[in-house]
Structure 1
Amino acid sequence: MKIVIIDDTPLNLTLMQALVGKLSDCEPVPFVDPLAGLAWCQANEPDLVVVDYMMPGLDGVEFISRFRATPGRDDVPILMVTADHERQTRYDALQAGATDFLNKPVDRNEFQPRVHNMLALRRAHLATRARARSLEAEIAEATAQIHEREQETVTRLARAAEFRDPETGAHILRMAHYSALISRQQGLDGEFTDRLLHAAPMHDVGKLGIPDHILMKPGRLTPDEFDQMKRHPLIGHDILKGSTSPVIQMAAVIALTHHEKFDGSGYPHGTAGDAIPLEGRIVAVADVFDALTSARPYKPAWSLDDAAALLREGRDRHFDARCVDALFARWTEVLDIRQRFQDAHATPL
């Protein structure tokens, strides 16, 4: 235990050093200059500070005030050395953060028990701090496990929809990463972006409720079949709504709104402009871009130039122009995502 002793009288300093030296597992750190002692205490964390009141340049009360103002020094015990008659000084020292007092002249029979008591207090503080850190680590681990289980549920939901859809698993990975890229480019916070990355794959979970003869049809849908297909955002929202999970909550919003169009001509509700939730506007761009540039049983893949042209033409009509521009602003990363998550070997998020 490091015990800092600050006293401008060399005789007192020598005496207290000797008394500390007789205590087991204790190391005295003496200073005649209070400013030097304060600098050491600000750079290092002592286990106990013994400080005199009457010192040139910096008295004991001011020393305590500055010491307590240093981050992480609020639970270090401080013994102030004062004369018995200096009552107002003691009051001021208590206000500044002194823990206890030693009377002048320093008496060995008083010094050692008080130091012993202060070190017991310090050990209790350190044990409490260690326990708090341990609990924090346990909570972080438990939270991570909950998050991992939640992500497994999310992935399984997305895969369930994927098994009934001609789109590939790589599609949901690419569009999720495109969505996160658009979010970052717009300066949205990391928590929103991370949530979006994990919620976006569930955008089409409502296709679980669409009959196979419509979902798997290789040709163009009839008007009636398309009307049934347009129910999948509502079905997806019904599957996902009501969750306490922030990721599933966002996924419910995305499922409901990713087919809305900026000019209000989309479905299921014909919502327009900024009334469409931002996550829905982002996923609309990411989903359409990847769908266009991916081969399907019923269509070949579009070229990047043709897909880019369609997105640009759809600015402020089909798509939020800000989301389109954000995608193109990170075009190199778009190409990297396409390369990383190819249909033949999709990997988890």
Structure 2
Amino acid sequence: MNDAGRPTILVVDDNRDNLTVIGGLLKEHYQVRAANSGERALKVAVSDPRPDLILLDIMMPGMDGYETLRHLRGDPATRDIPVIFVTAMDADEDEEGGLRQGAVDYVTKPIRPAILLARIRTHLALKAAHDRLADQNLALEGQVRLRTRELELIKDVSVEALASLAEKRDNETGNHLIRTRSYIEVLMRELCRQPRFADQLDPHSQEMIAKAAPLHDIGKVGIPDHILLKPGRLTPEEFEIMKQHAKIGADALTEAIERVLVARYADVEADSRYALDFLEKAREIAHSHHERWDGSGYPQGLAGDAIPLSARLMALADVFDALICKRHYKAAIPLDETIGLIREGRGRHFDPDIVDVFLERVEEFAGIAARHADAPHA
């Protein structure tokens, strides 16, 4: 619309008299622009003031009305401008053809002023309603995106806080969570290119595994302090109790899935449950990250590919971090020795292919460990 708020109508006709007659009819109510050819109409339609509606003749030399309309509909800048064909062609097939091309209406010559003005008012009102709805939808989409980001932030902060609580009970720092997640991201970035892992490490799965990784030791909240914080070696009996943290964590996450998500979202298709995917990965990791490739791990004694991939990734990340970093019960082990121990665990403790990627990217692992090193205790 122009500065006075009047809609702008573009009249396209190769006949000067028709332009004069129609322009005179419309100028009292609208701002009128004119074009005497299809080519000229396309230029006018993208210049200011932009037309709110176009009256388009069909029979014109060069580019006729049909071709002009095809160009208008093919340009994102003009595709939504309503077009009314104004023509002497009055056969039913002509009208049907015009509407099929994308015109919103079809007015025949000679012009009947009352009919033309009524059609214009109707389609301008429809266009205004369409624009308002589009603006409302755009605003709503923005609000939904903002709300989704807020909810994601709340979820991520809650997960980090919960995981950090478990780590602090183990006298560790939140940097362990950052490091292990970063190690896993390095591994996934490389493994997803291998046929063996490609289907399991699509972008969505990678995101879920990375976000769930900090919950791997959530079950430690259920281990007594005198065992969890013991500075020396655990007795066999104490170690059996310590091993229960894997099942404790898995049981807690299973309860969250069954009591909360299934109860509230039973009518939602499983593949659309973003939160359920996240909790399922967290449960896999918490339950199985102490399983070993050769079946000698705990709590279930799983072996090989029976161990969820998410847990196999965490197994290597967690052991690397435990070896290379100082803990309350041990000194840090030098990088070369740490690499040697993980290499020895290839095919025994760890998935061989995951170890191979680790060995290729060990400098990235060392860099992550250095960047996120724990601050020395006072």
TM-score under structure 2 length normalisation: 0.79
Cα distance change on mapping 1:87 and 1:200 into 2, 3 Å: same
Alpha-carbon distance, 1:207 to partner: 1.0
Out of 302, 309, 334, the residue aligned to residue 333 of structure 2 is 302
Question: In 2, distance between residues paired with 1:331 and 1:80?
Answer: 69
The answer to whether the 8 A contact 1:185-1:329 is kept is no
Which residue matches 2:54?
Answer: 49
CA contact (8 A) 1:75 1:125 kept: no
Within the candidate set 157, 182, 186, 1:152 is matched to 157
TM-score normalized by the length of structure 1: 0.85
Residue among 31, 34, 37 paired with 2:38: 34
Distance in 1 separating the partners of 2:73 and 2:116 = 23
1:6 match:
12
Distance in 2 (alpha carbons) for counterparts of 1:217 and 1:178: 27
CA contact (8 A) 1:285 1:319 kept: yes
Structure 1 residue aligned with 2:221, among 189, 208, 212? 208
Give 1:127 shift.
0.4
Aligned positions of 1:183-202 closer than 5 A: 183-187=188-192, 188-202=201-215
Asked if structure 2 preserves the Cα contact closer than 8 Å seen for 1:42 and 1:70, the reply is no
Instruction: For 2:326 and 2:208, locate their aligned partners in 1 and report how far apart those are by CA, in whole Å.
Output: 28
Question: Counterpart of 1:273?
Answer: 304
1:115 equivalenced with 2:115 (yes/no): no
SS of the residue corresponding to residue 312 of structure 1 reads helix
Q: Which has the higher contact order (CA 8 A, sep 6+)?
A: 1
Stretch deviating more after TM superposition (187-196 or 84-93): 187-196
Gaps of 5+ in 2: 2-7, 193-200, 262-274
Structure 1 portions without partners, runs of 5+ = none
In 1, distance between residues paired with 2:14 and 2:369?
71
Residues 321 and 17 from structure 1, CA distance in 2 versus in 1: closer, same or farther, beyond 3 angstroms? farther
User: What CA distance in whole angstroms lies between the structure 2 residues aligned with 1:14 and 1:193?
Assistant: 66
Structure-2 separation of matches of 1:52 and 1:159: 71
Deviations 1:185-204 (A, max 9, x none): 33444433333332111100
1:258-277 Cα shifts (integer Å, max 9, x gaps): 11222322221222223322
1:128 aligns with 2:159: no
Shift of 1:281: 1.7
Query: Partners of 2:343 and 2:22 in 1: how far apart?
Result: 79
Q: Structure 1 residues 39, 215: closer, same or farther in 2, change over 3 A?
A: farther
What residue identity is the alignment partner of 1:262? W
Letter paired with 2:157: E
